[in-house]
Chains A and B, each alone.
Chain A
């Protein structure tokens, strides 16, 4: 197996580089490791300290009235066989613009990234059908606009995107969360993966509320080499916040109840829909990046996986919880039994208790 790109990024240092140890990736889904999805480990960082738990205990760290906002995007079978003049490869569909225009990442193989030597206008074959390279994404030569009937190609020959840290291909249902409703994500919104019917029942019994939104995730591979965090070289992602969810979030905010995002995609969607002190219903495409200089205004807490150094995910975590807390948590996680990546363990970041006290009704 090739070393995961994260190792190189850690070796290169950068934000959290000095405090993070080499992460251990989850190389297979929980189901293949003899665990239920809701039995993954949970690290809870609440500003006062770090607590070890399992995901099924989530409700014990929450309060009645807490609002969990979840992403109901379903994962696509976005990996397709590609044949270009440079040779055979794979095409990872990242984002659908129209039926026959996609942003996509051509790679040599699931394990070996591009860029491939391609030219604008070049005809290629995707899953056996004719397609055409349109133009590289500005500032991101590994990502291309491609004219391809992506839906038809996925129906014929699609498989879930798999990077080198996962040992074997897995069926698509292992990349779907219990919330998955609208297909469109290149990669699973993985913070929702641990939720099961019984976990949701426990949350409901504890008085915890949930509300959905949609953000279709793009490919994550682009920033694993420690790329820039500026928005203009990141691919835009489609999102939509339903009116019922915007209302629920605004209501919670007005009452001092906590809004907890299930996944970084939820934070980005809510922040993109936020203006003039409120979350507005609606949607569009977003490239918004959150970092300590642009802190989240809507969410109080976040449930997420363990992320690679220098990724936008990690910048978002530090924006929410502060660099000291995140560094500390990652030290704890690296020493503990925690597993990284989409099939790995989870991390709940909650605001410090002082803040809870001032927010309490």
Chain B
């Protein structure tokens, strides 16, 4: 995309701003760290004030602004504060809905899952990301931003014990596709990302007492994030990606735009 300039004065650099939920540890911390290191301003949240503060301090070493907003994504006031923090940093280019709850640990059979736990799981993993998007949509629209909903293979698998969590992620996947269709005219894009099994606290809680040391660390997903964040939203809108897969494809209708050049048809 070329923007025509009327003079030779470079415009002041506009920092890209990203909001990452659940950023004090695990996958969220990895994504936030990569974004900070690549020049983003950040808004991050987590429920633990101390863990969040430690994360924010580490992120600030990269030189960008970091707003730490402790709280629970299921709380509407907290979500409003997150969006306010992004507005104060200048806007919002990227919303990463990463904060998730496993529900109960150890994972019960779906038939034994209490209504209370299921309700809380859906509240955190499905209602909160959509409510946060709704609150952030005016800012995202201004910047033609990207929404990333962190999913799971439990959304598809039907694995024993993962029914409540998996149902919340399956619903989030559907919501992502719906958002992609509905928001396309506004330039806001939405994708779902299955990060694959990772050595995280959430995964450990699914297997209490078991050694999950054979699962890779969250940083194995870095190449995928680097690729995803480099794509124009229209090239990925509505897709569901596996971060640990060996191929990540763009929408085929964007053929020829990959390298910013038209394909010559022989």
Please tell me if A264 contacts chain B, counting CB pairs below 8 Å.
no
Query: Given known contacts A101-B230, A121-B37, A135-B222, is B247 in contact with A285 (CB within 8 Å)?
Result: yes
Query: How far is it, in angstroms, between the C-alpha of A18 and the C-alpha of B96 when the chains are bound?
Result: 51
Contacts of A101 in B (CB 8 A): 38, 226, 230
Determine whether A255 belongs to the interface, using a CB cutoff of 8 Å to chain B: no
In the complex, are the beta carbons of A232 and B226 less than 8 A apart? Answer: no
* B223 beta carbon closer than 8 Å to chain A: yes
Chain B nearest Cβ from A199, distance in angstroms: 18
Q: How far is the CB of A147 from chain B (nearest CB, A)?
A: 6
- B31: min CB distance to chain A, Å: 12
Which of A147, A182, A284 interacts with B261 by CB under 8 Å? A182
| B266 is an interface residue with CB less than 8 A from chain A | yes
Please state if B261 and A138 are interface contacts (CB–CB under 8 Å): no
Option from B62, B249, B263 in Cβ contact (under 8 Å) with A284 = B249
CB under 8 Å from chain B, chain A span 236-278 = 236, 238, 240, 242-244, 272
What B residues does A181 contact at CB under 8 A?
264
A240/B248 contact (C-beta < 8 A), A135-B219, A281-B255 known: no
Bound-state Cα–Cα, A146 to B61, Å = 16
Over the window 101-118 of chain B, the binary record of Cβ atoms lying under 8 Å from chain A Cβ atoms (1 yes, 0 no) is 000000000000000000
Given the known A-B contacts A236-B248, A283-B250, are A242 and B227 also in contact in the complex, defined by CB atoms under 8 Å?
no
A129 to chain B, nearest CB (A): 15
Residues of A within 8 A of B37 (CB): 120-121, 132, 134-135, 145, 147
B29: shortest Cβ distance to chain A, in Å?
13
Let me know if A87 is at the binding interface, CB within 8 A.
no
Q: Is A137 an interface residue (CB 8 A)?
A: yes
Q: In chain A, what residue has the closest Cβ to B226?
A: A97
**Structural contact, A284 and B247, CB atoms closer than 8 A:** yes
A residues 98-115 with Cβ under 8 Å of B? Answer: 98, 100-101, 103
CB contacts (< 8 Å) of A135 on chain B: these are 33-34, 37, 219, 222
A145 x B247 contact (CB < 8 A) = no
A120 to B230, alpha carbons, bound, how many Å? Answer: 20
Residue B39 at the chain A interface, CB threshold 8 Å: yes
Q: Are B223 and A138 touching (Cβ within 8 A)? A: yes
Measured between beta carbons, the chain B residues less than 8 angstroms from A216 are 259
In angstroms, Cα B261 to Cα A134, docked, is 28
Q: Shortest beta-carbon distance, A304 to chain B, in Å? A: 21
Q: Is the CB of A231 within 8 A of B246?
A: yes
B222 with A145: CB separation less than 8 A: yes
A-B CB pair tally, cutoff 8 Å: 108
Q: Name the interface residues of A133-165: CB closer than 8 Å to any CB of B.
A: 134-135, 137-139, 145, 147
* CB contact under 8 A between A286 and B223, given known A181-B264, A281-B252: no
Interface residues of A in 202-261 (CB under 8 A from B): 211-212, 214, 216, 231-232, 235-236, 238, 240, 242-244
A21 CB within 8 Å of chain B: no
Cβ of B250: which chain A residues have Cβ within 8 Å of it?
282-284
Query: Is B258's beta carbon under 8 Å from chain A?
Result: yes
In the complex, which residue of chain B has the Cβ closest to the Cβ of A235?
Answer: B223
Q: Is A193 an interface residue (CB 8 A)?
A: no
Q: Which of A132, A137, A231, A244 contacts B222 (CB 8 A)?
A: A137
The answer on a CB contact under 8 Å between A280 and B263 is no
Distance in Å from the Cβ of B211 to the closest Cβ of chain A? 20
Interface size on B, residues (CB 8 A): 33
Residues of A within 8 A of B216 (CB): 138, 232
Closest B residue to A272 using CB positions: B247
Tell me, yes or no, whether B138 is within 8 Å of chain A by CB.
no
Asked whether B14 is an interface residue with its Cβ less than 8 Å from the other chain, the reply is no
Given A120-B37, A139-B220, A244:B258 Cβ within 8 A: no
User: What's the minimum C-beta distance from B100 to chain A, rounded to whole angstroms?
Assistant: 22
Q: Is the CB of A212 within 8 A of B266?
A: yes
Residues of A within 8 Å of B255, CB to CB, are 240, 242-243, 281-283
Assess A287 versus B247: contact at CB under 8 Å? Given A101-B230, A134-B37, A242-B255: yes
B157 lies within 8 A of chain A by Cβ:
no
* Nearest Cβ on chain A to B93's Cβ, whole angstroms: 13
CB distance from A241 to the nearest CB of B (A): 8
The residue in chain B whose Cβ has the minimal distance to the Cβ of A284 is B249
Known: A97-B226, A135-B37, A137-B223. A211 touches B247 (CB 8 A): no
Any chain B CB within 8 A of the CB of A289? yes
Chain B neighbourhood of A138, CB < 8 A: 216-217, 219-220, 222-223
Q: 18 A-B Cβ contacts within 8 A?
A: A134-B37, A138-B220, A138-B222, A147-B37, A181-B264, A212-B266, A235-B223, A240-B256, A242-B265, A243-B265, A284-B227, A284-B247, A284-B248, A284-B249, A284-B258, A285-B223, A286-B246, A287-B246
10 additional A-B pairs beyond A211-B266, A240-B258, A282-B251, beta carbons within 8 Å, are A103-B223, A134-B37, A135-B33, A145-B226, A184-B259, A212-B266, A216-B259, A236-B227, A283-B255, A287-B246
Spell out A's residues near B (CB within 8 Å). Answer: 97-98, 100-101, 103, 120-121, 132, 134-135, 137-139, 145, 147, 181-182, 184, 211-212, 214, 216, 231-232, 235-236, 238, 240, 242-244, 272, 280-289
